[in-house]
Each structure stands twice: as C-alpha cells, then as structure tokens.
A and B are shown apart, each in its own frame.
Chain A
Amino acid sequence: MPSAETSAPARPLLAIRGLRKSFGATEILKGVDLDVRQGEVVSIIGSSGSGKTTLLRCVNLLEEFQGGEVLLDGEPVGYREQAGRRLRLKDRDLARQRAQTGMVFQSFNLFPHLSAAGNVMLGLRKVKGMGKAEARAVAERWLARVGLAERADHAPSQLSGGQQQRVAIARALAMEPKLVLLDEITSALDPELVGEVLATVKALAGEGATLLLVTHEMRFARDVSNTVVFMEKGLVAERGPPGDLFGNPRHPRLIEFLRGTRDH
C-alpha cells in the first residue's frame, strides 16, 4: 500500500491505481489509473462498452474488482490486506465507505414510496442519524438548491424526469459526500429536460463540489470539466484539460470518437 503518509496537500482526493475488473472470464477494466483532486470536475468520455459505468461502480463499491486499488482520501476502499491476502470488507464497512461518495444514476432510482423530501431525508436519518426536523430542514434546503422547493411533498411519480433527476442529485449531495459520481445522468431524459439537469450540475461544480462524471454530452464536458478522460477498451487512453482533449486530440481512437459525436 503506497499512500498512507500524512495528508500532503497534493494528494488526490480519489486515486485509482491499476484497477482491474472482470466479469467472469472477460476483463473489462485492464489497469485503470485516474486521479481526482479536491474540487475538481473530471468527465469520462468514451465509446459504449469501454467500461465507464463499470469504473464508477467500482469506485462506489457496487462492483467487486480483482486488482489494483481505489483510495478515497488516502483510505483504500472495498478491501483490506491481511497476511498478504486481499479481503472484501464487511457490509457495515462498505456502507460506511459508500456514504462518503454520492452517486446519481442514469435511471434516477428514486425511492417510489417516499416523497421528494423523504428521498433526501432517508440517508440523513438512517445513515447520519439526524433527527426528523433537522433532516427535513436539510432536505428542503437541498431541494431549494436544485430548484424544487415547491415539490418537496410530491411523490416521484408526480415529477417529470428532469425533476426526478434533480431530486436524485439533492439526495446524493445532502449527504455531503467527499466525491459525487454521475453516470450519464441525462441519457434517460427528453431533450428539453436535459438543460435543467446540466445547469444544476454546473452550479454545483461552481460551488466547489468534487465530481467524477460520465457523459455523452461533449459540449457539457467541455464546459464543466477541469479534466476530461477518454476511455477505450478498459483503459484510460488519453486525459487532459478539455481544451487540449477536444481541440487537439492525439489518440487515433479519440479522433475517430469525436468525429462520430460531432455528427449529431
């Protein structure tokens, strides 16, 4: 384990080192290295099947991985080393680590039996142990920040897709995670609802949230990111500031990929 030194200021908030992940015999992630610094916004782009979703799910411990490590704020997540053997953490420890990252899904995944406020409050109450009144106040504050103050008591089924996704963003951010993972959060939305969700994410980025996101919206990636990462066949093929990556792509597959996305 390389990085247990005292927190040097340069240490990235998230450090992914040589991450390997297979489904059965098929290796999907083949040694991914990726850093995300505190307050940074990193966008992952890449063709379908390149492993973007799998990478985010490994970071949030929704998938097990077979090699390499993921360090969040210096702490290895998901596994511990014992007598040279790599052991998956217990459920309780996984839950504690997951609480430090937020995740927003493509398909919203709001809890259908709870109101918008109830969705935001569940983690505050049951994970953070907040009282009802305090959790409600925090939830209302976050719903207001995503522009849904008036919708606190609506059921998810009474909200538009864009509104549901903004509730999901509030639900993730209310937990005050160190890092937020967003996986193609506008892909399931009607085109006219995409803008409101992207504007919300952009505002959060402006307020200093640390974001690792996967997107097919190249304009958005260019606008919002400090760093863009191009994934190809389970590896990071190219990374850099959006100006370089979009303005002067070097990897032949990236050039081809960008040509493909400009068409629509």
Chain B
Amino acid sequence: MGYTLNFAVVWANLPKLLGGLLLGLELAAASLALGTLIGLAGGFLSVGASRPGRALAATYVAVVRNTPILVIVLMLYFALPDLGVQLAKGPSFIAALSLYSGAYLTEVFRAGLVAVPPGLVEAGKAIGLTRFGVALHVVGPVMLRNVLPALGSTFISLFKDTSIAAAIAVPELTFQARRINVESFRVVEAWTAASALYIATCFLIAAALRGLERRFPKF
C-alpha cells in the first residue's frame, strides 16, 4: 500500500515528452491552417447568394459537428485505405482535425461575415471593386480582425485535441506519456507531467494571443 512519487523517470524521458509536445503543436498549427481555408470557403458559401452553396456548407457543418472527433480520426485512418486512399498517420490525423476544425471555423467565419457592416460592402463596390475584390480587400480583413479571439481559442482547442492522435499511435505528448506509463508503471508521474505540459502550453498560447490581439487593435 502507498505509492511513492518518483519523478526520475519523467526527467529521463523529458526529451521525448517535449518532442511529443512539439509534434502536437505542429499538428494543431497545420490543422488550424487547413481548417481556416476550409472554414473561409464554408463561411463565404454560407452567407453567399448560391443556394446549393449554402446547403453544402450547412450539411458539412451538421455532419461534422454530430460526429465524435475520435470517429473522424479512426475513419480517415482505418477506413479510407479500403477506399483506395492511403495516408500516413500524421497527415491522416491532420486531415481529420482540419475537417473537424473547418466545420467549427465555418460557423466562426459565418458569424464574423454577418457582423461586417453592409455599408462597407457598398463602399467597396462604389469604388469599383468586383465582388471578389470586396471579399478580399474589405470584408475578409474586417471579418478576420473580428474573429481573432475565436481563432485563438480554436487553436487552443485544437492543440488539446491533438491528444486524440495517440489513438492511431502518432507519437505526440499523450502517446509518450502512455509509453512511459506502460514501460515504467509510473502512472501518476507520467500523467501528471503530461497534464502539466498541456496546461503550461495552453497558458503560453493564450498569453501570446492576447499580445497578438493588442498588436491588431479593435477598430
């Protein structure tokens, strides 16, 4: 009876844990970038004039939001190969997380687009910009500033969601913690270390985002 804490195994494995942490950040950043592209397309479609476009965006959001993220990850990794698409673990997970975040970001961007004053669109048209020009030079930048806080919290969520990649043996932080756990039976130490690293990183990201928001002040 009695569990004696011994963090030596954590220190010994610190490089692996930090490597896993870094990999998680990379997965989150890549997914955020791809998810942002998907979300921008979805957002503009969902406020656009095309009825099929709006239906497509709405269906995508509804399907993804009602599917557990773990299922999306497993489906892309295990089911797609049977359909002839074989992705390595990392890219497969990035694809899953991008698809997932794209749905949430579609909603974020849709709300941001709706909040852009119509007068700005008209001012853009009045100087002779095409619809695409207005979207690119007026609506896009104004909307992005408005959704910057939401983008930041999405990034933090995505970073935490990278722990799900352990399910397909992507060697990120959660995977590394479980490996220590299995190899050394230091259950408490391994998971405490992983939690501490997740929490500290999220705090750092949040602080960096606040700095970024100060750099781009609200209009």
Using a CB–CB cutoff of 8 Å, the interface residues on chain A facing chain B are 60-62, 91-92, 94-96, 98-103, 105, 107, 109-113, 122-123, 126-127, 155-157, 168, 171-172, 175
Kindly list chain B residues whose C-beta atoms are within 8 Å of the C-beta of A96. Answer: 128
Task: With CB as the reference atom, state the residue of chain B lying closest to A102.
Answer: B126
A109 touches B119 (CB 8 A): yes
Beyond the given A61-B125, A111-B138, please list 11 additional residue pairs across the A-B interface where CB-CB is below 8 A.
A92-B130, A95-B129, A102-B126, A105-B123, A107-B119, A109-B119, A109-B122, A113-B141, A113-B219, A126-B133, A172-B127
Chain B interfacial residues counted at CB < 8 A: 20
Task: With CB as the reference atom, state the residue of chain A lying closest to B140.
Answer: A113
B131 touches A91 (CB 8 A): yes
Kindly list chain A residues whose C-beta atoms are within 8 Å of the C-beta of B22. Answer: none
Task: With CB as the reference atom, state the residue of chain A lying closest to B125.
Answer: A98
Kindly list chain A residues whose C-beta atoms are within 8 Å of the C-beta of B65. Answer: none
Interface membership of B179, Cβ < 8 A = no
Using a CB–CB cutoff of 8 Å, the interface residues on chain B facing chain A are 117, 119-120, 122-131, 133, 137-138, 141-142, 145, 219
Q: Report if A123-B127 is in contact (Cβ < 8 Å); known contacts: A109-B122, A112-B219.
A: yes
A156 touches B219 (CB 8 A): yes
A123 touches B119 (CB 8 A): no
Q: Bound state CA distance, A127 and B133, in angstroms?
A: 9
Kindly list chain A residues whose C-beta atoms are within 8 Å of the C-beta of B137. Answer: 122, 126
Kindly list chain B residues whose C-beta atoms are within 8 Å of the C-beta of A95. Answer: 125, 128-131, 133
Interface SS of chain B: helix
CB distance from A188 to the nearest CB of B (A): 11
B125 touches A109 (CB 8 A): no
Kindly list chain B residues whose C-beta atoms are within 8 Å of the C-beta of A107. Answer: 119
Kindly list chain A residues whose C-beta atoms are within 8 Å of the C-beta of B117. Answer: 109
Kindly list chain A residues whose C-beta atoms are within 8 Å of the C-beta of B128. Answer: 95-96, 98-100, 123, 127, 175
CB distance from A20 to the nearest CB of B (A): 22
Kindly list chain A residues whose C-beta atoms are within 8 Å of the C-beta of B219. Answer: 112-113, 155-157
A109 touches B127 (CB 8 A): no
CB distance from B119 to the nearest CB of A (A): 4
Kindly list chain B residues whose C-beta atoms are within 8 Å of the C-beta of A175. Answer: 127-128
Kindly list chain B residues whose C-beta atoms are within 8 Å of the C-beta of A105. Answer: 119, 122-123, 126
Task: With CB as the reference atom, state the residue of chain B lying closest to A157.
Answer: B219
Q: Report if A111-B123 is in contact (Cβ < 8 Å); known contacts: A122-B137, A155-B219.
A: yes
Kindly list chain A residues whose C-beta atoms are within 8 Å of the C-beta of B122. Answer: 62, 103, 105, 109
Task: With CB as the reference atom, state the residue of chain A lying closest to B122.
Answer: A62
CB distance from B53 to the nearest CB of A (A): 16
- Interface CB pairs A-B, < 8 A, 15: A61-B125, A91-B131, A92-B130, A100-B128, A101-B126, A109-B119, A109-B122, A111-B138, A112-B219, A122-B124, A122-B127, A123-B127, A127-B133, A155-B219, A172-B127
CB distance from B136 to the nearest CB of A (A): 8
CB distance from B115 to the nearest CB of A (A): 12
Please list the 3 inter-chain residue pairs (A to B) with the smallest Cβ-Cβ separation, ordered nearest first: A99-B128, A123-B127, A112-B219
Task: With CB as the reference atom, state the residue of chain A lying closest to B132.
Answer: A91
